[in-house]
Amino acid sequence: MLRRILFLASLAIFLLVTGTVAWAAGDPTGAATLKADPGKAVDYVWILLCGFLVMFMQAGFACVESGFCRAKNVTNLMTKNLLDFVVGSLAFWAVGFGIIMGADWNGLIGSSKFFLAGDSYDVETYLSFFWQLVFAATAATIVSGAVAERMKFQAYLVYSAVICLLFYPVYAHWVWGSGWLSKLPYGLGHLDFAGSGVVHAVGGFVGLAGAIVLGPRYGKFGKDGKPRAIPGHSISLAALGTFILWFGWFGFNPGSTFSAHQLRISVIAVNTTLCASAASMTALLLVLGKTKKYDLGMALNGALAGLVAVTAPCAWIPSWAAVVIGIVAGFLVVGGVYLLDALKIDDPVGAVPVHGFNGVWGLLAVGIFADGTYGNYAAKAPFVQGLLYGGAGAGQFMAQLIGAVVVIAWAFGCGLILFKVLDAVIGIRVDPHEELQGLDVVEHGTPGYPEFYIPRI
Amino acid sequence: MLRRILFLASLAIFLLVTGTVAWAAGDPTGAATLKADPGKAVDYVWILLCGFLVMFMQAGFACVESGFCRAKNVTNLMTKNLLDFVVGSLAFWAVGFGIIMGADWNGLIGSSKFFLAGDSYDVETYLSFFWQLVFAATAATIVSGAVAERMKFQAYLVYSAVICLLFYPVYAHWVWGSGWLSKLPYGLGHLDFAGSGVVHAVGGFVGLAGAIVLGPRYGKFGKDGKPRAIPGHSISLAALGTFILWFGWFGFNPGSTFSAHQLRISVIAVNTTLCASAASMTALLLVLGKTKKYDLGMALNGALAGLVAVTAPCAWIPSWAAVVIGIVAGFLVVGGVYLLDALKIDDPVGAVPVHGFNGVWGLLAVGIFADGTYGNYAAKAPFVQGLLYGGAGAGQFMAQLIGAVVVIAWAFGCGLILFKVLDAVIGIRVDPHEELQGLDVVEHGTPGYPEFYIPRI
Amino acid sequence: MLRRILFLASLAIFLLVTGTVAWAAGDPTGAATLKADPGKAVDYVWILLCGFLVMFMQAGFACVESGFCRAKNVTNLMTKNLLDFVVGSLAFWAVGFGIIMGADWNGLIGSSKFFLAGDSYDVETYLSFFWQLVFAATAATIVSGAVAERMKFQAYLVYSAVICLLFYPVYAHWVWGSGWLSKLPYGLGHLDFAGSGVVHAVGGFVGLAGAIVLGPRYGKFGKDGKPRAIPGHSISLAALGTFILWFGWFGFNPGSTFSAHQLRISVIAVNTTLCASAASMTALLLVLGKTKKYDLGMALNGALAGLVAVTAPCAWIPSWAAVVIGIVAGFLVVGGVYLLDALKIDDPVGAVPVHGFNGVWGLLAVGIFADGTYGNYAAKAPFVQGLLYGGAGAGQFMAQLIGAVVVIAWAFGCGLILFKVLDAVIGIRVDPHEELQGLDVVEHGTPGYPEFYIPRI
């Protein structure tokens, strides 16, 4: 059966694409593109290297999620984090990219550039594809943290593909692909510089839906209903992953100028760092006040929360605002973790507070703190203004609020439908005894650390 | 004795080089080079940053090899992976680089630029040296996976030096240093964009020779001759290493334009990703079909196989061909692992199928899929064409086939001679009781994880 | 109390900064800056990407320190390595940066640009801030290795802030901010290309002071006074960290041209690699000569020692000098480790020999090996000359010697005062039973590897 799938897939690709190359009318060598604008050389260097950093975030997510979960599921988590990129990139190549960046259809969906065929054999289109791909894969990989340690691998493969084929691209088209959200009649339309909403809130709220449909892990809530901590198996892996993510975020945010000729990239890099630091510090101090312990897990998630929150506004705010946004992000991530516990929702790595709640906060922050010094993806007037900076701010805040509501509804709604359907059709949760044993042996046949003595199951 | 070596080495360097600086006639500041071509600034940024990524692949190899091997040999593997870069860079500085890029002698060997002395004190030469160095070190480090867990460290140091001094540079000279393979009278001569052959096949087939001469690890094959899995000690380390390698490969392949003014770099980045994804998916599905398990080890090696296979053709093919090449790579890596098992050759991390077999496949793929849209290292006519794209393709395929045969013969032959000689002179395999105990304590005096309880030996 | 701190901090930031944005007169968009010099685009790409690499060194330090220490303190070490960047970036934003790069006051201290407010809302200033920040954070993080496994976390937070607020910025101002050391009337004034002194010697000698004031870890010295090895818990983590540091150092050194238009960056990259390799090889051979074992820990520290030593001279020397400097660095790091043992000073990860002693060696090496081919931070005459290259060398060597004495006195003196005061006021060392139990549970409430069986305490 598998061979048949592979054979048919290859055949389909051949038939679909070989012919099309003949009528390619793009600029596959790049010579014409460079001639038209010699500045493209440095732009390509900037965009590609930033894109490589974003791709490297996959390693960061893999380490954070694995580190925060138990040793019996580490093979499973690593496989997921590899495979969502693998499946995602193929799905995104075939369909997803065309939905974001293809010719717009009524502000709702893109409708060309599938398989990068025909005209799309062009250095500009490939560059755009690479950039969009690494972002799409990030959205997909966020979900895996929220559904960790109890989901069937098969279901995982399916939803990864669906996110990269559909959920992510459609919403990204609305915001970044000239879709309807980008054209809201408020402020400059809904704005999301590097994807607090498009990437993180989408990932976070699909994850929330998944966590709810799956239900909590065995043992997460006691008979008294109280949450019990299930500590991760390797704090060093989780910490390393967070450093990698922070590093990769410097591609994510500054690279989203999609041009090296926006020297604003230095401001973006600084804001990214300060917001993460302020959020991490805040989260650490909040937990310290409560437990008298310096909680590394919360400090790590605090840093990530700050990175998520600053992702949308990073280009439009001054440094002090980054610090303030970070302080709020720190409160949000700590509060979010307690809230989910109170709601009996089990999100093993805190993906929902980090990416979901702070993604939304980032969108709103644009409408509050944007200071009118920088335009929409370029240093062009009109500049983006938030509530604190004059009359135009109210309109922008409205646009941000609408986008925030839409992203929650879209991601959570799509996620809920998807996981419910998957659950009905193939089942999404492993059997209880499999969960107890760990997914590594059951699904993958290979424990993560076969030589080490691990007394607890 | 060691001090004497160090003293003599220092002295030799002094005598050899101090004098030569006086007559340096290169451009050590770079001012003249920049003046002649202001575009060099962005080229240097691109090449150096890509080179840094390639250097970081050393960390990836270290993690993959260590993760796939046992805890008792982790210090040994990490030392090897550090030392091959250390020894390699000194050997390459003294001699290796001159053999690749020095003045050509009859198409066989380069013969100047040793020690970067004299004229070579020049920003262009240093740049070229840095680039060639990180590639040479990659070839050396590939070998260590195939000979893991049973080789004497002393022998390892010697062969690392020999690879960087001789085996790698000579073959690289033939392909990249205006040597005879680059001037074959077929197609545009033998082509290998980023080194499927030069780096990976060389590393893989030297490794094959090493694995054969060494023989299998104790316990790898049962008395019935059947192979037994020896699982690696840390799947998270192996997975992290693969992510690092994938990340570093974005330097390896796109950086091989050796110019930022080839906007084709976006196409190269996309092809690199798609091929890796297709290969990883294929490998995963093949093993799933056989064992009903999602095998992470094979998915990781699948991704690496795809990366290796696309390394030679990445600049000359459209995206769909990258996917097809990846599917084939997935079959090759899975088949290769089974083949080695059947031949009773023990390659602990799968270095031979990943780098050797897929390196050769990459060379051939150029001759099949090159689509005539891009030239040899620059967007200049004539463009490279493979079998699927018209009459010139047969010539190119022939050139690729010759190169493939040559690289196998050269690398395997040199490796066989080297390891046989080393075995006769100093012995290359540790004693059986040392192998059982693990190389960490025996050779290095330090176990990798002294505090953890590891029941198995 | 904590909430009050947070509230007051937010309020202070608001009051301090919101108003100031109004009178900003910098170039926050970067449009004017780019127009004045279109070459800035590639400079920004270079500087930012190199800065990202330097930031990633935080991950390297975290892994090296954690790997070289015991499993019971891994959460503590990771928290420190995260928090010094977090605290450091906030402290550096508020005050530290202004002290380095603010308007000079009598050659002693900078006095503007605090909070990046007012005029500082400018792409050039933000760029400079980002670059200086990642360097300052490196200096802070070096200390944590020397004081590992026995310091109270609260004291750690305070000294991290003080280093980033004061110790580092003041000395950096003297060398890089037009301060008095840069204007010494010898040679071209004291020179330190990328910070052997400013970053590494400062970090190393503050760390030495901390190690002395704290005293050795329980069990480090036997009743007979002999040192006992306390092996690190994960050699793979330490090795990975070293690879990450080496990778990040390619941002540290070549990026310190602060311009992509200095093609000398290729020479710097090569020198960086060769010096690290020579030092690692030397350290390995020295220990081999003594113990007949290939000591990975020493090879790793050797590589780092070489990287530190070449940091000051990397731009001004030819490749052979990098090798020689590396050989000396190898001797220094091995000798330094034995020296500290003899002095009964406990530096768990070797931070003092690696960063302190070799930082000083790097400063002197400028005065010896600078070959007169490259100027002070630009390819401009007069070029830097050391003792081996003519009469001007004596003056330069004198300038380097003065800087070396000053950095030792400043860093060690400041460190001694700080740790003594901290010890008197809040106490810096944990209780003996807490030290035995490990800091993870005591200070952080979370063991690093809760599922693994770790027999030793």
What region, left, alpha or beta, does residue C171 occupy, with left being phi > 0 and alpha being psi -120 to 50 degrees?
alpha
By the CB < 8 Å criterion, does C191 face chain B?
no
> Which of A6-10, A221-225, B155-159, C381-385 bottoms out in mean pLDDT, i.e. has the lowest?
A6-10
What does each C-alpha distance from C235 to A28, B9, B154, B288 come to in angstroms? 47, 30, 20, 34
pLDDT at residue A454 in the model: 83
Q: Which two tokens stand for residue A147?
A: 């559904």
Residues of C159-198 as b/e, b for ≥16 C-beta within 10 angstroms? bbbbbbbbbbbbbbbbbbbbbbbbebebbbbbbbbbbbbb
The reported pLDDT for the residue numbered A10 is 61
Res. C225 pLDDT band, cuts 50 70 90? confident
Structure confidence at residue A6 as a pLDDT band (50, 70, 90): low
Does C305 contact chain B (CB < 8 Å)? no
Which of A10-19, A98-107, A409-418, C223-232 reaches the highest mean pLDDT?
A409-418
Cβ contact (<8 Å) for A18 and B286? no
Residue of A3, A16, A28 lying closest to B373 (CB–CB): A28
Cβ atoms within 10 Å of A8's Cβ, excluding its own: 10
Q: What's the confidence (pLDDT) of residue B23?
A: 47
- Across the B/C interface, how many CB contacts are shorter than 8 Å? 224
Residue B426: how many other CB atoms lie within 10 Å: 11
pLDDT at position C22 is: 45
Per residue in C64-107, pLDDT (tens digit) is 999 999 999 999 999 999 999 999 999 999 999 999 999 999 98
**Confidence at residue B22, expressed as pLDDT on a 0 to 100 scale:** 45
The span from the CA of B92 to the CA of B87, in Å, is 8
R_g of chain B computed on alpha carbons: 22
**In A, which residues are within 8 Å of B386 by CB distance?**
none
User: Which residues 423-442 on chain C approach chain A with CB closer than 8 angstroms?
Assistant: 440
Contacts of A319 in chain C (CB under 8 A): 93, 115-116, 121, 126
Q: Does C315 have pLDDT greater than 60?
A: yes
Interchain contact C236–B (C-beta under 8 A): yes
Question: Does an H or E element contain B351, and which?
Answer: helix B351-351
Q: Least CB-CB distance to C240: which of B3, B6, B63?
A: B63
Cis before B185 (ω within 30): no
Q: Say if the Cβ atoms of C62 and A240 lie within 8 Å.
A: yes
CB-CB contact of C90 with A279 (8 Å):
no
Chain C interface includes B171 (CB < 8 A): no
Which of A6, A78, A130 is nearest residue B235 as measured by Cβ atoms?
A78
Pairwise CA distance, residues C42 & A261, whole Å = 8
For B341-350, write each residue's pLDDT tens digit.
999 999 999 9
Average pLDDT over residues A48-57: 98
Smallest CA–CA separation between C289 and chain A, in Å?
33
Structure tokens at C223: 């009743």
Q: How would residue B2 be classed by pLDDT, with cut points 50, 70 and 90? A: low
Q: What percent of chain B has pLDDT over 90?
A: 88
* Angstrom distance (rounded) from CA B94 to CA B114: 5
Residue B362 pLDDT exceeds 60: yes
Please tell me the predicted confidence (pLDDT) of residue B455. 74
Q: Rounded mean pLDDT of B155-175?
A: 94
Q: Where are the domains of chain C?
A: 37-452
pLDDT at B225: 87
Select from B31, B44, B447 the Cβ nearest to the Cβ of C266: B44
pLDDT of res. B25 = 67
HSE-CB for A139 with a 13 A CA cutoff:
38
- What per-residue confidence (pLDDT) applies to A225? 87
- Contact between A117 and B267 using a beta-carbon 8 Å cutoff: no
Confidence of residue A23 (pLDDT cuts 50, 70, 90): very low
Task: Label residue C442 exposed, middle or buried (CB < 10 Å: 0-12, 13-18, 19+).
Answer: buried
With a CB-CB cutoff of 8 Å, which residues 94-153 of chain C face chain B? none
Q: Does C284 touch chain B (CB under 8 A)?
A: yes
Residue in C46, C282, C295 closest to B445 by CB: C295
Sign of CA dihedral A13, A15, A18, A20: negative
Region C234-252: mean pLDDT is: 98
Mean pLDDT of A293-317: 97
Cα A8 to Cα C412: distance, rounded to the nearest angstrom = 70
B274 inside 8 A of chain C by CB:
no
Residues in A touching C73 (Cβ below 8 Å): none
Subunit contact B126:C294, Cβ cutoff 8 A: no
In the structure, what pLDDT confidence band is assigned to residue B7 with cuts at 50, 70 and 90?
A: low
pLDDT tens digits along C292-311: 999 999 999 999 999 999 99
What 8-state DSSP symbol labels residue A440? I
C257 in contact with chain B, both atoms CB, cutoff 8 A: no
| pLDDT score of A269 more than 90 | yes
How high is the ipTM of this complex?
0.95
> Which of A30, A52, A87 lies nearest to residue B281, judging by beta carbons?
A87
Please write the tens of the pLDDT for every residue from C277-296: 999 999 999 999 999 999 99
| Secondary structure E strands in B369-415 | 371-375, 383-385
In the predicted model, what is the mean pLDDT of residues B150-168? Answer: 93
Query: Is the pTM for the entire model greater than 0.90?
Result: yes
Mean pLDDT across the stretch A66-79?
97
The whole-number average pLDDT for the span B419-439 is 95
> Which residues does chain C have within 8 Å of residue A53's beta carbon, measured at their own beta carbons?
52
In percent, the amount of chain A with pLDDT more than 90 equals 87
Q: What is the pLDDT of residues B295-343, one digit of tens each?
A: 999 999 999 999 999 999 999 999 999 999 999 999 999 999 999 999 9
Closest CA to A239 of A310, A295, A194, A309: A295
- pLDDT band per the 50, 70, 90 thresholds, residue A13: low
User: Which residues fall within 8 angstroms of residue A374, CB to CB, at 6 or more apart?
Assistant: A264, A267, A315, A316, A383, A384, C28, C29
Q: Do B239 and A82 touch (CB under 8 A)?
A: yes
Q: What confidence category does residue B454 fall into, taking pLDDT thresholds of 50, 70 and 90?
A: confident
A278 touching chain C per CB within 8 A:
yes
Residue C174 has pLDDT above 70, yes or no: yes
Q: What's chain A's average pLDDT?
A: 93
What pLDDT digit, counting tens, does each position of C422-443 carry?
Answer: 999 999 999 999 999 999 999 9
B254 CB-near residues (< 8 Å, 6+ apart): A48, B50, B265, B268, B269, B272
pLDDT category of residue C15 using cuts at 50, 70 and 90? low
**Partner chains of A (3+ C-beta pairs under 8 Å):** B, C
Segment C102-139, tens digit of pLDDT: 999 998 999 899 999 998 999 999 999 999 999 999 99
Contact C294 B443 (CB under 8 A): yes
Cβ separation of B443 and C295 shorter than 8 Å?
Answer: no
pLDDT of residue B453: 85
* pLDDT surpasses 70 at A3: no
Residue A266 has pLDDT above 50, yes or no: yes
pLDDT tier at B3, thresholds 50, 70, 90: low
Question: Distance from C5 to chain A by nearest Cα, in Å?
Answer: 10
Task: Enumerate residues 356 to 385 of chain B having a beta carbon within 8 A of any beta carbon in chain A.
Answer: 371, 373-375, 379
In the predicted model, is pLDDT for residue C210 greater than 50?
Answer: yes
Whether the per-residue pLDDT at C18 is higher than 60: the answer is no
Amino acid at A109: I
Of A247, A250, A373, the CB nearest to C29: A373
With contact defined as 3+ CB pairs under 8 Å, the chains touching C are A, B
Q: Domain A37-452 belongs to what topology?
A: Ammonium transporter fold (1.10.3430)
In sequence order, the β-bridge partners of residue A151 are A429
Q: If pLDDT is split at 50, 70 and 90, which confidence band does B457 have? A: very low
Judging contacts by C-beta atoms under 8 Å, the chain C residues touching residue A266 are 30, 44, 48, 123-124, 126-127, 130
Q: B359: closest CA among B145, B196, B175, B168?
A: B196
Is the per-residue pLDDT at A124 higher than 80? yes
Would the CB atoms of C55 and A274 count as touching at under 8 Å? no
The beta-carbon neighbor of C29 closest among A231, A274, A379 is: A379
Q: What is the pLDDT of residues A371-430, one digit of tens each?
A: 999 987 655 667 899 999 876 778 999 999 999 999 999 999 999 999 999 999 999 999
Nearest to A260 among C14, C44, C121 (CB): C44
Q: Residue C110 is inside which H or E element, if any?
A: strand C109-110
Task: Tell me the average pLDDT across A244-264.
Answer: 97
Query: Is the model's pLDDT at C23 over the cut of 80?
Result: no
The better pLDDT of the pair B325, B111 is held by: B325
Select from A11, A49, A65, A86 the residue whose CB has the most chain B CBs within 10 Å, as the one to mutate to test that interface. Answer: A86
Question: B interface mutation test: which of A130, A134, A237, A442 has the most B CBs within 10 A?
Answer: A130
